[in-house]
Structure 1
Amino acid sequence: MRGRDEVRGGGRSTTIVIVVVVLVLLAFAAWYFLIRDDAPDAVSLDAAIEDVQGDSDNADGTALAGSGGSTSAADLTGEWTVDTESGDFDFDSATGSFVGFRIDEELSGIGSTTAVGRTGDVDGSLTVDGDQITTVDMEVNMDSLTTDESRRDGRARDALKTSEYPTATFALTDPITLPADAVDGDAVSIQANGDLTVAGVTQPVIFDVDAQLVNDTMVIVATTDVLLSDFDIAAPSAPIVLSVADEATVEMQLLMVRG
């Protein structure tokens, strides 16, 4: 009897060990394929300029191509539109224009991660008059939004109500006076006040903007923090998601050329 009990006990122990190993492997697989935090870097003017310049010998970005000197306000005056031809858009090589979001979440058994969603389907224009940006109008197709994990895509679009409101927009409400450095081709930091419309709700926002003229391209990166609740957006949910922050960062990388 003792021998049988020992065999049964040994069998139960082996089963428990196998179950534990399987659970560990499943947890690792879920982390690796679904929720590991390999989110792309936040937008950066330096990175965007590097992509635009490529192997160009003109690495300082201080002049329009072929101008042979510094620019002037007259050189900037006019309409600039989003360049949809230059660069590529994907999460491995986002070298073109795109708009997206970043948001922190807490996952069961994993901890804190950052979810990122982006789309390269962006269009729009800005107008420069002398030393002022007088208009900015941007339009984004949110229905083409993808995230750093494809299994999140559907939930993210549902949360943003893209089937009902496929388009997000930003419109400048106050003119922006450009620093003198802008017309010299140097990097500048400015703020853009405007109305952001997402999921059918419009809220005033202030974007922190870094920009520089590189050859014939106006390179712009911009970020602003928003609250999902201000736009009546409910955070996506899943069994493994313990919490999602209400605050999210909206980010843009825009390559603008003369219209």
Structure 2
Amino acid sequence: MRLRIVLAVLAGLAAVVAVLAGVWWFLIRSEADPATEPLAFREATPTPTPAASTGDTPSPTAGAGGATGDFTRYVIVPEHPDVEGRTEAWYLAGETLARIGVPSTAKGTTSEVSGEFFIGKTGLDPNNVSRVVVKLANLRSDESRRDTRVREALEVTRYPEASFTIEAIEGWPGEIPEGQDVKVTLVGTMELHGVKRTLEWETVARRRGNVITALATTKFRYEDFDIPVLNIAGFVSVEEEVTVQIQVIAVAQ
């Protein structure tokens, strides 16, 4: 009799776990893949090109600085009529259902991204600061409990922003030819959760006219920035490394 009771209890627990796993898999589970290219430009509408009047001076090529080697200031904007999509930043965190080992990838996104960068044929302007700033309080995923844990772990009341100050561009070819993608590595200082560390961001950029779209990707361990590894009520465990991506639209000023 006792054996039957024990077996019944175990079967009941297994059923509960299966139900919870099913609920998590279908309702909470996420499956997000990293982006691989910058935002696309909308199909261009042909417009007549006015004849140049005597004395007209060609404008500098965007993404390449001025014709004399000057630097161009680019400001990050939320949206642009020529671009499909908007400026955003997000994290991709690997999660696993405790005891069962069912993996997934969670994605939390915010559109509160701002900043500017100064670039020319030789690279960054050494006399101006190129920086991207992301506000963290409104990071949103598909699960409110996860969002609460993220805000708590990041201590967003105390540290409301993350920033990346660009200090070098590796592999910069001198310009972004229109219609082509350029791959570079941005090197600089990431400040997150009150901690500063040097990070590299693998970046792909493209240009049309005076508009640049770019996608930057980096990875780091939570402990690098003194962030506790997240979990949801002990039910879902999170991998120790997180991927962060930022897609921006920037306009030459």
CA distance in 2, matches of 1:16, 1:225: 41
Contact 1:103 1:116 in 2 (8 A): yes
* 1:155 partner amino acid: R
Q: Determine the structure 1 residue equivalent to 2:173.
A: 179
CA distance in 2, matches of 1:220, 1:166: 24
- What is the percentage of aligned positions where both structures have the same residue? 24
* 2:95 partner amino acid: E
- 1:168 deviates by 0.6
Q: Determine the structure 1 residue equivalent to 2:23.
A: 29
- 1:219 deviates by 0.8
- Could you report, residue by residue, the CA deviation over 1:75-117 in whole angstroms, capped at 9, with x for unpaired residues? 7941101112338xxxxxx921111211212213351111222
Q: Determine the structure 1 residue equivalent to 2:188.
A: 194
- Name which of 108, 114, 117 aligns with 1:126: 117
- Does residue 107 (structure 1) correspond to residue 72 (structure 2)? The answer is no
For the structure 1 residues 174 and 25, does the alpha-carbon distance in structure 2 shift closer, same or farther, using more than 3 Å as the test?
A: closer
Contact 2:30 2:107 in 1 (8 A): no
Indicate the SS of the match to 1:245.
strand
CA distance in 1, matches of 2:169, 2:31: 38
- 1:38 deviates by 2.9
Q: How does 1:36-185 map to 2 (within 5 A)?
A: 36-39=29-32, 41-45=33-37, 48-49=39-40, 52-53=41-42, 55-56=43-44, 73-74=65-66, 77-86=71-80, 95-108=85-98, 109=100, 111-134=102-125, 135-174=129-168, 178-180=172-174, 182-185=176-179
For the structure 1 residues 176 and 136, does the alpha-carbon distance in structure 2 shift closer, same or farther, using more than 3 Å as the test?
A: farther
- Does residue 218 (structure 1) correspond to residue 212 (structure 2)? The answer is yes
- 1:181 deviates by 5.8
Indicate the SS of the match to 2:149.
helix
CA distance in 2, matches of 1:148, 1:226: 23
CA distance in 2, matches of 1:221, 1:16: 50
Q: Determine the structure 2 residue equivalent to 1:61.
A: none
- 1:123 deviates by 0.4
Could you tell me which runs of 5 or more consecutive residues in structure 2 were left unpaired when the two chains were aligned: 47-57
CA distance in 2, matches of 1:80, 1:249: 25
CA distance in 2, matches of 1:17, 1:193: 54
CA distance in 2, matches of 1:99, 1:174: 21
* 1:253 partner amino acid: Q
Could you tell me which runs of 5 or more consecutive residues in structure 1 were left unpaired when the two chains were aligned: 1-8, 59-66, 88-93
Q: Determine the structure 2 residue equivalent to 1:234.
A: 228
Which stretch shifts more, 232-241 or 94-103? 94-103
Contact 1:181 1:187 in 2 (8 A): no
CA distance in 2, matches of 1:245, 1:145: 19
Contact 1:133 1:178 in 2 (8 A): no
Q: Which has the higher helix share?
A: 1
CA distance in 2, matches of 1:103, 1:85: 26
Q: Determine the structure 1 residue equivalent to 2:55.
A: none
TM-score (norm 1): 0.74
